[in-house]
Structure formats: structure tokens, C-alpha cells
Copies of this chain bind each other. A is one copy, B any other.
Amino acid sequence: MAQKPSIPKGTRDFGQVEMARRNYIFDTIKGVFSLYGFQQIETPAMENIGTLMGKYGEEGDKLLFRIQNSGEKAALAPEKGLRYDLTVPFARYVVQHREELSFPFKRFQIQPVWRADRPQKGRYREFYQCDVDVIGSDSLIGELELIQIVEEVYRRLGINVCLHINNRKILAGIAEVIGAPDKIVDITVAIDKLDKIGVEAVNDELRERGLNEEQVEALQPILKQESGIRNQDKLASLKEFLASSETGLKGIAEMEEIFRLVESTKTASLKEESRFSIELDLCLARGLNYYTGAIFEVKALDAQIGSITGGGRYDNLTGIFGLPGVSGVGISFGADRIYDVLTELDLFPKALQSTTQVLFATFGQEELRYALTWAKELRAQGIAVEVYPEPTKMKKQMGYADSKQIPFVAIVGGDEMAQHKVMLKNMSTGEQQLMELGELVKALKS
């Protein structure tokens, strides 16, 4: 035989079990999005190269996949590239279709993206993103709804999470207060490493990045804030620290309002049932290039896997396409990592494995025909049925049911046919029972 065919490195085939699980994740998320009035859009896999270039930094430009018509000469510069994320196409979409849209525009989008990254464990060249955004309003109800969505999605999936929240205005305020307003990125990049490298190493990095001793000293109250204390207490002490910074205080006010909104809409049942917490986390510094207000990151409590959802408030996403001053807020669910968490914690529903509820196994052509009429009746009742297409050895037919994890096999031999019945076998208990059509429908529907 010829060499086994393969697929490009960093890409994946998804078999039926993986697809059932992935669909479970996406359907759960979509179900929650819909409750909040977010509606789905899709954009093309390929964008004009000008839409993509320069939007992801120098590194990003190098990781774009470019597309060439087969007819085109290789020397010709490709004019198209594959979607690198869902954010830039979304911004392009909003600007291009702004006259047809009603604002605030609430959209979600679940599509693959492609990056010419070096493939490694957990990093793929093709992977799905799952983004939800509301754009065209600076109301903090946007933040509230995204937090509620996170809570509800993970409650439905059964994953206990902590939502870390920060605010770019607070970070800017801190930089301002210590007299280094231009060093906000340096400061937050260093602070971001606090968990990993500790306070002393962060201080060293701050010095390397050009902060003087006085400034480093001024930052210590922030760095040494205990992680266990309540958000309200953190905000209270930050408020004092940031008293001289208008921006900083605005950030505090935003956070206070967000916490207030979350508190006031918590239903009693949810308070008890779910393990969902929110933590004000000054070390959170993702996306500082474009986030202007709240910044979110969600971590699973019972799995060591990093962020499974992240996002924030932006004020100028569409500015790159000539439509400035449109505020929005959005988050992205990491489907691959959620998949890994659900697998690690064994949280996928068992019933996902097979959609087929019963397989008809037969001993001869006549029985096979007989089974086909029953199958048609069952399907009309909404029951998923397969008929093994040949009256072959029973062992083979049973093996097929086993491998597809089909829970019941309806065996049809001459005796059963004569009685207008089938022998229903429960594949997990081994029990068998002779049944008429009506009984079979009842048994399979329960």
C-alpha cells in the first residue's frame, strides 16, 4: 500500500467523539449567548492582505498565512491572507456594514483562525475562536452581561472558575501616581510576572525597565497587596493610593460600579449553587495595546491550564478602519482549553458518545426488510436508529454496536418476525426482552 496520507503539522482531524464534545461546548456557549440577545455572524476565511497586515505587530505579520491562486505566478505578492483572529475581521465587518447594523451591536462569532506558529503541545496552526462582543455603547452593563455569561457558561459546563478582573485606567493611574506615566506597559508587564518570579525579581525588572528607586519603592503597596483580601478592601486602599490621579479614580469608580451591578443581580439560587468568584487582580495585564477599561481573564479552579476565557473593554477597535471613537467590550472563550479541562475533570456528559439509540441486527434478508419498516416508524417518532446493512454474523453486528457505544440492539430473527416483535437487548446490562413496536418506542423514549 502507498504511504499513509497525513495532514499538515499543527492541524487536526476531529472524529465523531471529538466533534460531539466540541459541539457540546459550542452549543452550551451559544445557548447562553442567545439568552442575552447576541447574534451570530460569520466572516470569510480569507481577508484582503491589507486588512490583516500591521494589525498584530511585527510578530503577527510573520505568522499570517498568505493565499495564492494556483494560476498566479509565485513571484506575485499574494493579495489575500487567512483570518488570524476574529477581532480584526469583526472590526472590518462593523465598519463595512455600519449602515445596516443597529447599535449597540451584539454579536458572537465561532470560526477557525490560522497562525503559522511553530506547532507544539496545545498550540495549533488551525484552531477555533469563540468571541462575543457588544460594540457601540460604553455602558458598564456590557461588562456586567459578559460576567454573567461567563458565570452561566461555566455553571452549565460544571467548571468552577475564578474571573480575574483589572482595569487599564487603574494601571495608568498607578503609573501616573508614581511619576512614571509613560511606563504603564513596562510596569504592568513586570507586575504580570509577580506570581511566577516574586516581588524581588519584579523590582529588579522594574529597575531594568527604567524606574528609579523612589518609583519602585512607591509601587510596593501594590505589589505586596495580599491576594486573599476582599475586592472592596483592595478598591478602598487603591482609592487612597490613586487619590491624585483622575484616570485612576475613574478606573476605581468603574470597578465599584461593576461589582455593584454583579452583586445586585445575583439570584439567591446562584449564590449557593455555583462556585464562581470574581477577583480584582492588578497583575492582570493582557491586551494593554488595545484595552482601555476593564480587562478579564477566567481561570479554572480545579485544573492547571491558564486562562480559558479573556477579554476587555476597548475604545478604538474600529479606528484602524477609519471609524474612531466606538466603544465596545468583548470576551473570547478558548474552546481547546475548555475541552482539555472538561476531559481532565471528566465532565463531558456520558450520553454524548453516541447519538444512535438502537441498532437493528438481523439474521436474513427478510428480517432485514422487516427491520427497515420498524426503523422508519421509530425515526418518525424522533428516535435515532441504525439498521446493520447486512444480515451477517451476529458477533459482527454486536461489535459494531459496541464500537459506536449504541445502548440497545433490537434483534430480529424468524421467531420475532412471526410474532411481530423484536428482542431488545440492553448492551450495558445484557438484559433481553421481547417487545412489540409500541413497547419498543416507549422503552427507547424513556
One digit per residue, 1 when the CB lies within 8 angstroms of any chain B CB and 0 when it does not, for chain A 1-31 equals 1111111100111111001100100000000
For A48, give its contact among B8, B265, B384, B390 (CB under 8 Å).
B8
A379: chain B residues at CB < 8 Å are 35-36, 152
A368: chain B residues at CB < 8 Å are 141
A237: chain B residues at CB < 8 Å are none
One digit per residue, 1 when the CB lies within 8 angstroms of any chain B CB and 0 when it does not, for chain A 29-46 equals 000001111011111111
Instruction: Report Cα–Cα, A386/B36, bound state, in Å.
Output: 6
A404: chain B residues at CB < 8 Å are 37, 102
Q: Which of A65-73, A160-168, A181-189, A338-346 contacts B (4 or more CB under 8 A)?
A: A65-73
Q: Is the CB of A14 within 8 A of B34?
A: no
For A41, give its contact among B16, B152, B387, B399 (CB under 8 Å).
B16
Q: Is the CB of B137 within 8 A of A390?
A: yes
Instruction: Report Cα–Cα, A109/B193, bound state, in Å.
Output: 44
| Contact residues, A66-91 vs B (CB, 8 A) | 66-71, 74-82
A92 at the interface (CB under 8 A from B): yes
Q: Is the CB of B116 within 8 A of A71?
A: yes
Query: Which of the listed residues A77, A96, A148, A355 has the most CB atoms from chain B within 10 Å of its own CB?
Result: A355
Q: Which of A240-248, A370-378, A420-428 contacts B (4 or more CB under 8 A)?
A: A370-378
Given contacts A2-B321, A68-B68, contact A20 B48 (CB under 8 A): no
Given contacts A70-B63, A141-B372, contact A19 B34 (CB under 8 A): no
Which residue of chain B has its CB nearest to the CB of A269?
B380
Given contacts A322-B1, A369-B264, contact A16 B40 (CB under 8 A): yes
A133 at the interface (CB under 8 A from B): no
A100: chain B residues at CB < 8 Å are 15
A315 at the interface (CB under 8 A from B): no
Query: Which of the listed residues A14, A134, A152 has the most CB atoms from chain B within 10 Å of its own CB?
Result: A14
One digit per residue, 1 when the CB lies within 8 angstroms of any chain B CB and 0 when it does not, for chain A 245-272 equals 0000000000000000100110101000
Query: Which of the listed residues A126, A134, A356 has the most CB atoms from chain B within 10 Å of its own CB?
Result: A356
For A5, give its contact among B4, B95, B102 (CB under 8 Å).
B95
For A14, give its contact among B20, B41, B80 (CB under 8 Å).
B41
A154 at the interface (CB under 8 A from B): no
Query: Chain A: residues with CB nearer than 8 A to chain B?
Result: 1-8, 11-16, 19-20, 23, 34-37, 39-48, 51, 61-71, 74-82, 92-93, 95-97, 100, 102, 104, 106-107, 112, 114, 116, 126, 134, 137, 139, 141-142, 144-145, 148, 152, 261, 264-265, 267, 269, 321-323, 355-356, 359, 368-369, 372-373, 375-377, 379-380, 382-387, 389-390, 399-400, 403-404, 406
Q: Which 9 A-B pairs have the closest CB atoms?
A: A2-B322, A16-B39, A139-B389, A11-B44, A37-B386, A102-B403, A37-B356, A141-B389, A69-B116
Known A-B contacts: A16-B107, A265-B372. Give 7 more (CB < 8 A): A7-B48, A8-B48, A13-B93, A13-B96, A64-B70, A65-B68, A104-B389
